[in-house]
Structure 1
Amino acid sequence: MLLDKMILGIDAGSHRVKVFGSFGEDKFRSNVCGWFERDIEEQFDEDDMEFEIDGRKGFAGTIALYEDEFGSASIYGDSKAHQDTKIRVLLAINRYLERHSPSMGRVAIVVGQPIKGHKETEKKRIKGMLEGQHTVKVNGRTRTFFIENIGVAAEGSAAFWSNPSDGVVRIIDIGSGTVNAATITDKRHVNNASDTFNFGVETINNKEDYGNLASGIIRNTTRLKWNKSDRVLVCGGISEGIIQLIAEHYPNAHILNPVSKIGSEVKFLSPIYANAAGFYAIAKGAFG
């Protein structure tokens, strides 16, 4: 496959980073922690990364989950305009290039921002920290690439483009720190029927209690005047575990499975990739 630049959709979530591009999907743990000298260099998973970016040294992936002395904390909230996002995105690009196109030096990306924080000031901050040339050192290998195009799309709303359809569609995008509720009418985002709720899988007291999480989602979406008969699509890593609970109130609720078309192969992906695949579709339209 001949490419003049790599186009990627990158969902830099607080639990896992999800990536989609012309060679398919990828994901790794989002955890990032500071560097320290290890007496025993244990291998935790294939996504273990020791990095140096912009003078910052650290560990990322599953190794950071276990080795972070500050409890593997992630930054939650309605904005992704912070340094952990930058580290995750640059690591995602490096990892994808390393696997699929090691000589590629030009990149175009679309990343996400929660609906509530999808404002020009925040989008400019995200673009400002990612645009331009970057040199990263990961697991002893150094790579330089140039991010020449970047878009910032609304999470949840953008997931629609991973498997688009006509009519009115409600999307529930369940993340680790937030839930995005998006309304799409005739392929257009409806702002007054969409929002971001500041809770998610990792912020509730009992992370295994999907019942309370589903109740919170239902209460907040009914405040947006969603109707019980609406077509609702659910995406995110816990979609399979929570869909029946959502369907108790919204009987037309289904899981949003992104469509992946790589060459002649067409398949449906896990709903965890809905935003990343939607970002990629947007990026292809804008920068392809």
Structure 2
Amino acid sequence: MAIVAIDAGGDSTKIYDGQKVNCFPSAIGYDWRERNLKQQQGEHDFEWEYRGQKGFAGTLALSESECAESRKGDSKAHPDALLRILIALHQYTDGIEQKIVVGQPIKTHTPEEKQLIKEMVIGRHELVINGKRRSLLITRCEVAAEGVTAGLLMPSSNTIRIIDIGSGTVNFGTLLDRKFNDKGSFTLTTGMETLRFADPVAFGRQIAIRALASGWGKHDTVYLCGGGTEALQETIRAYFPNSKPIIGDPVTANVRAFFLIARKLYG
């Protein structure tokens, strides 16, 4: 039995088993074809078959699919997210039975949306990747709130603020005495890859002003995570002088925090 955390992000999918984070591009193409020239395009070339459909994923989708895309938005209750989760389990776990924790943006971290994800994920799945067939039985799935959950990685503090800058959303999270605070947590439904012109100064300014307008204090300690951390940290620091990247790799903060929950629930 495997116990893992999976962050099926719009740009990349991360899976963590408590020892190592593995990551691959989230791009998926449904336009499978028989290739005449079969050369490896990258480390994460995936040719998949699931429920009667076939396609390319990962680096193979980016190179060979004419319609490759990575679905983004404020919910992960959709088939692309399911495929990312199943590909991660197929490639980086052993055995049949799986217990997992996945993520959902704060805005849609509702009982209804979480139930949709659980119904989509829990059960038996037959999946072929690069000619290898595996049967996966997901017996448990819990859904963590993206961004704010990453605050669990930080040392205990009265107030912890998190800005999680993703490809399709930005999550603003607040922990008060290690408890999630709804009033100080929300989601901006644009991200680094959904803007036509993702100017780091303009986008960083928008993010900071949105946080200030929602009651965050200028001198709060704000931890940054997600793929946009490096590009936006200097701009955000102009508005929040005490902002800094989260401890460890900011890109993998969510999945590392999800595993803390998985270990507590299933360990």
Q: Structure 1 length normalisation: TM-score?
A: 0.89
Q: Does 1:9 align with 2:19?
A: no
CA deviations 1:11-36 (Å, max 9, x no partner) are: 00010001111331110000000111
Equivalent residue, structure 1, for 2:195: 204
Which of 63, 82, 89 is the equivalent residue of 1:93?
Answer: 89
Counterpart position of 1:186: 177
Q: Which runs of 5+ in 2 are unaligned?
A: none
Q: Which residue of 1 aligns with 2:241?
A: 251
CA RMSD of aligned residues (A): 1.3
8 Å CA contact retained: 1:161, 1:277: no
The Cα shift of 1:229 comes to 0.4
**Who is 1:272 aligned against?**
251
1:286–1:59 CA distance, 2 compared to 1 (3 A): same
Partner SS for 2:38: coil
On the 8 A contact 1:210/1:241 being kept in 2, the answer is yes
User: Any idea what the Cα deviations from partners look like across 1:161-201, whole Å, max 9, x if unmatched?
Assistant: 23443210110000001000001111111111111001100
Aligned match of 1:235 = 225
TM-score scaled by length of structure 2:
0.96
Give the superposition deviation at 1:105.
Answer: 1.8
Equivalent position SS for 2:183:
helix
Question: Residue type matched to 1:167 in 2?
Answer: N
> 1:174–1:235: 8 Å Cα contact kept in structure 2?
yes
Indicate yes or no: 2:126 matched with 1:135. yes
Inter-CA distance 82–164: structure 2 relative to 1 (3 Å threshold): farther
The aligned residue for residue 43 of structure 2 is 46
Alignment of 1:13-92 (within 5 A): 13-34=9-30, 35-70=32-67, 72-92=68-88
How many angstroms apart in 2 are the aligned matches of 1:47 and 1:164? 35
What are the residue-to-residue correspondences of 1:145-164 with 2, within 5 Å? Answer: 145-164=136-155
The one-letter code matched in structure 2 to 1:221 is A
- Which residue of structure 2 aligns with residue 222 of structure 1? 212
How far apart are residue 56 of structure 1 and its match? Answer: 1.9
Gapped runs of 5+ residues in structure 1? 258-267
Query: Helix, strand or coil: the match of 1:248?
Result: helix
Q: Is the 8 A contact 1:112 1:155 kept in 2?
A: yes
The letter of the residue matching 1:278 is A
Matched residue type, 1:44: Q
Q: Deviations over 1:129-160 (max 9, x none)?
A: 11011121111111112111110011001112
Aligned to 1:264: none
Deviation at 1:42, TM superposition (A): 3.0
Q: What one-letter code is carried by the residue in structure 1 that aligns with 2:169?
A: T
- Residue identity over aligned pairs, in percent, reads 39
- Equivalent of 1:281, from 241, 255, 260? 260
Equivalenced residue count is 266
In the alignment, residue 218 of structure 1 is paired with which amino acid? A
